Amino acid sequence: MAQLVFTETPMSTSLGEGYVCLARLDEYYRFITSDNEALRLELFESNVRDYAGSTTVNNAIGETLRSGTGEDFWWFNNGVTVVADAAQIAGKRIVIREPQIVNGLQTSHEIYSYFQNGGQHRDRSLLVKIVVAPESGTARDRIIRATNSQTQLPAGALRATESIQKDIEESLSHAGGYYYERRASYYRNLGFPLDRVVSMARLAREFTAFVLREPHTALRHSDALLLDDQHYAQIFSPRHDLDIYRLCLDVHTRLRTFLTHYAEDRPLLGDSLENWLYPLAAMSAYTLTRLRQPSPRDLLNIDLGHLSDNLMFRMTGTLEQSFKSVLRRNKAGGVDRIARTPDFTTKLRQAVVSQSRYHIEG
């Protein structure tokens, strides 16, 4: 339970349960902080992104809070939206059960920072919308999408509250030592090691290269296109075993480390590590399973210890030969263009499965 003190009698809705009210800034600050005045991060669990830091919009919010013009804060701010399991007026308070601030995280952080640095309310208020969503159905998710759809967000951000995204985040943090940023900037703001922080777009690219064996798609698609409805459904499906996502990251981590050392002595054609990383991931799916058409279950049965330096060295040699073969015929193409074509992916697959040293079975 949480309580929010309002300044005037809230306006309620006739359809369903909900309230719109003004809350004085210091009362809202109390609502979003614990007894020791720490920000209650659990209130923002259903938000689609974390605090964005010093952006133009956030700086403007901060300037409005610090302004001494005497104008009310809510005149210049869209306010916040709170979704709850229940809400009831008790005197001058709204008692809210299981509140989640689904829109207004940036405003909340700026208000928190303002008061932490000695700011005063000066009788200014914030507009607060409280919506009691049905316990069943998709209303809550649709509210989150609708209240965030007018702001510019990273590709896939509006999917951050989906069950599959929460499951992946939990699975990776427990079993794989990765920190999955289904909410943009969340782990970065907490100071976690950046090399272990994984964005939704990165996981989608690595899944596409390794599990779907489409390195050309991983290379040429923008984040928005890679996370559109069609590709998203292929990648983030509840039918997939959650361990496949950790495996994708483990494979790419090994390949990335190997390529970084490899390139110290032998400059990579095209000077772009990604042009080599994603094709090698696709090649790894064949060499580690020894199958021409490995399924996700086949991939989960591999021994990652078999992805040795020797194997990676041999695969890199095959990849380099394939690049050079195409370059000899089409010197104007360049490695960047070659790696982004499905024809090259097909050629690379044929090169791997036809070489006896890889022992690819029919």
Query: pLDDT tens-digit profile of 91-144?
Result: 889 999 989 898 898 999 999 999 999 998 889 999 999 998 766 556 666 666
Q: For residue 276, tell me if it sits in a domain.
A: yes
Do 57 and 97 fall into the same domain? yes
Q: pLDDT band for position 145 (50/70/90)?
A: low
What's the structural domain count of the chain?
Answer: 2
pLDDT at residue 334 in the model: 86
**For 286-308, what is the mean pLDDT?**
95
pLDDT given at position 152? 53
Give yes or no for residue 360 having a pLDDT over 90: no
pLDDT band, very low/low/confident/very high, at 288 (cuts 50, 70, 90)? very high
Same domain, 140 and 255: no
What is the tens place of the pLDDT at every residue in 150-159? 455 555 666 7
Confidence of residue 32 (pLDDT cuts 50, 70, 90): very high
**What is the rounded distance in angstroms from the CA atom of residue 173 to the CA atom of residue 167?**
10
Counts of helices then strands in the chain (DSSP H, E): 16, 10
Helix axes 163-171, 243-265, angle to 10 degrees: 60
Mean pLDDT along residues 146-152: 55
DSSP state of 174: I
Beta bridge partners, 126, equal 23
Residue 356 has pLDDT above 90, yes or no: no
Q: Please name the residues in contact with 255: beta carbons below 8 A apart, sequence gap of 6 or more.
A: 277, 280, 281, 284, 307, 312
The pLDDT value recorded for residue 151 is: 52
153 within a domain of the structure (yes/no) = no
pLDDT attached to residue 13: 66
The answer to whether residues 106 and 190 belong to one domain is no
Which pLDDT band holds residue 16 (cuts at 50, 70, 90)? low
Final residue belonging to a domain, choices 121, 148, 175: 148
Q: What is the pLDDT of residue 172?
A: 92
User: Strand 179-181 relative to strand 197-199: parallel, antiparallel, unpaired?
Assistant: parallel
| 155 domain-assigned | no
Average pLDDT of the chain, as a whole number: 87
Same domain flag for 196 and 264: yes
Do 83 and 229 have their domain in common?
no
At residue 349, φ and ψ (nearest 5 deg) are -60, -45
Share above pLDDT 90 across residues of the chain, in percent, rounded to a whole number: 55
Q: Residue 107, SS3? A: helix
Structural domain span for residue 114: 2-148
Same domain, 348 and 314: yes
The answer as to whether 262 is a domain residue is: yes
pLDDT per residue as tens digits for the range 216-272: 999 998 888 888 888 999 999 999 999 999 999 999 999 999 999 999 888 888 878
What's the rounded Cα separation, in Å, for the pair 294 and 38?
50
Strand order in the sheet with 86-90: 2-5, 93-97, 86-90
pLDDT greater at residue 16 or residue 193: 193
**For residue 33, what is the DSSP state?**
B
| 303 Cβ contact list (under 8 Å, min separation 6) | 288
**Mean pLDDT across the stretch 274-291?**
96
348 with 222, same domain?
yes
106 and 254 part of one domain: no
305 in a structural domain: yes
Residue ranges of the alpha helices (H) in the chain?
25-31, 56-66, 105-116, 139-148, 163-171, 186-189, 200-210, 215-220, 223-226, 229-235, 243-265, 273-289, 296-300, 309-329, 334-339, 342-353
**171 and 143, same structural domain?**
no
Is 317 a residue whose pLDDT tops 90?
Answer: yes
Cβ-proximal residues to 40 (8 Å cutoff; 6+ apart), any chain: 32, 33, 34
Please check whether residues 244 and 107 belong to one and the same domain. Answer: no
Confidence at residue 34, expressed as pLDDT on a 0 to 100 scale: 92
Task: Answer for the pair 183, 50: CB distance below 8 angstroms, yes or no.
Answer: yes
One domain, residues 118 and 79: yes
